[in-house]
Structure 1
Amino acid sequence: MATENGKQAEAESRQSQPKSRLLLSLRLAAVLATATATVVMALNKQSIRITVAVVGTSPILQTFTAAFQQTPAFVYFVIANAIASLYNLLVLLLRPFLRAKPHDILVHLLDEVIFALVATGAAAAASMAELGKNGNEHARWNPICDRFEAFCIRGGLALMASFAGALLLLLMNAFSTFTLHKSVLSQD
């Protein structure tokens, strides 16, 4: 009986190793994607000087600046991705201590919250990015991406990184759910 239990535990350990590596890889990729989104958007700022009037022969120049802090959706985007990056980094660092089943369930539930946070942050920023690119003719809001091209390109790159991070978090949640479900069924 004891050798049977030992063989079963060894077989489960061998099966869980590739699963653990996949979850580790997905979490590491999610850290990189959300950290990239955070840094790119947090450093996203562009200033331009435009002639607003000419008095005699002297042009009057004004400087206009586009920065992520000017839009609450972009601020939320940066905060959401920063929280996701730090959370996933913390889980990676504490991974050896989170081996028990209750910890797995807690981490899984927190992973779902983090996925929702990243997805909503990316969606909010994407809606503002669309407004910046195309404007709103009905509200008479002009697009700004024709003037702040570098700002919009960097914002688009940050959005792509964040959506990639959200996709990785979704895959990680799906795989984690499958793994937890399978382990619960094996105990019955």
Structure 2
Amino acid sequence: MKTGESEATTIVVGEATTVDTKGKAPAAAPVVATTKATKSVKSNKYTKGGWKKGIAVFDFLIRLVAIAATLTGAIAMATANQTLPFFTNSFQFRATFSDFPPFTFFVVANAVATGYLVLSLPFSIVTIVRANAAGPRLLLLILDTTMVAITSASGAAAAAIVYIAHDGNPNANWLPICRQFNSFCDQTSGAVVASFVAAVIFMLLVAMSALALRKH
């Protein structure tokens, strides 16, 4: 080492990065790169969360539509009642939903579905607030699948009776009663349609929950 000459020292930054300390500051390139990567990860996270939140909001809205459908079906079927204007001393020609066990099952099933939908609204709100929460979505997925089975089964059973009421069955000598009880048949037919609308909505809810959980 010679007198009068200044020494140059090196500082290792990252991988084999050398910096001359003669009045120069350490390079800040690695810090900038790390910041950009962090921003990219955060942006991607927010984008996914926003997508799931949109599905959760739509889930809440169509649950309200499903409540209207199941409630309408239950009320329409439960109030289906018609008495013909002509009767004898021994017979009064009257048709009510309670005369047909599948119609009774239909009313109970749609009432249960309506109650479930009302109770599911708070869980749907939780998925809006916490878009990445998997627990509430999984619970709704399981219960919605159960409601698909209940509403479809009750709707199919009621639809079979409505079909017989409209067309009868000549092979079994079952006469179509809708020629006389037209108001009764119109009301029960509308209730069956409302139930199938609710079943389709439940299927959509199941598909949406499954999709959100798959992207979780």
Helix, strand or coil at the partner of 2:94:
strand
Question: Which one of the candidate residues 15, 23, 26 is aligned to 2:62?
Answer: 26
Matched, 1:14 2:43: no
- What are the Cα deviations for residues 21-74 of structure 1, in whole angstroms up to 9, with x where unaligned? 22112211111111110111111111113355xxxxxxx584211111111100
- Cα distance per residue 1:134-154 (max 9 Å; x no partner): 111111111110110000000
Secondary structure of the equivalent of 1:141? coil
Match of 1:110 among 143, 146, 151: 143
For 1:100-153, what per-residue CA distance to the aligned partner results, in whole angstroms no more than 9, with x for missing partners? 422321210110000110001000000010111111111111111011000000
TM-fit CA distance, 1:167: 1.0
How far apart, in 2, do the equivalents of 1:51 and 1:177 lie? Answer: 56
* CA gap 1:11/1:101 in 2 versus in 1, 3 angstroms: same
**Cα deviation, residue 3, structure 1:** 5.9
Q: Deviations over 1:78-120 (max 9, x none)?
A: 1111111110111013434565422321210110000110001
The match for 1:157 is: 190
Distance 1:48 1:170, change over 3 A: same
- Structure 2 counterpart of 1:76, from 93, 105, 108: 105
Greater percentage in strand:
1
Say whether residues 1:167 and 2:200 are aligned partners: yes
Matches within 5 A, 1:79-158: 79-97=108-126, 100-158=133-191
* 2: CA distance, partners of 1:105 / 1:94: 11
Q: 1:42 aligns with which of 66, 74, 78?
A: 78
The SS at the match of 2:180 is coil
Report % sequence identity.
30
- Amino acid in structure 2 at the alignment position of 1:28: L
Give the count of matched residue pairs: 176
| Structure 2: gaps (5+ residues) | 1-36
Distance 1:42 1:105 in 2: 33
Q: Which has the higher contact order (CA 8 A, sep 6+)?
A: 1
Measure the CA separation in 1 of the matches of 2:123 and 2:47. Answer: 25
Matched with 1:56 is: none
Greater CA radius of gyration, 1 or 2?
Answer: 2
Letter in 1 for 2:149: A
Distance of 1:15 and 1:182 partners within structure 2: 10
Structure 2 match to 1:176: 209
CA distance in 1, matches of 2:99, 2:122: 34
| Secondary structure in 1 matching 2:95 | strand
Q: 1:97 to 1:171 in 2, by over 3 A?
A: closer
CA RMSD, 1 decimal: 2.0
Could you list the runs of 5+ residues in structure 1 that have no partner in the other structure? 53-59, 184-188
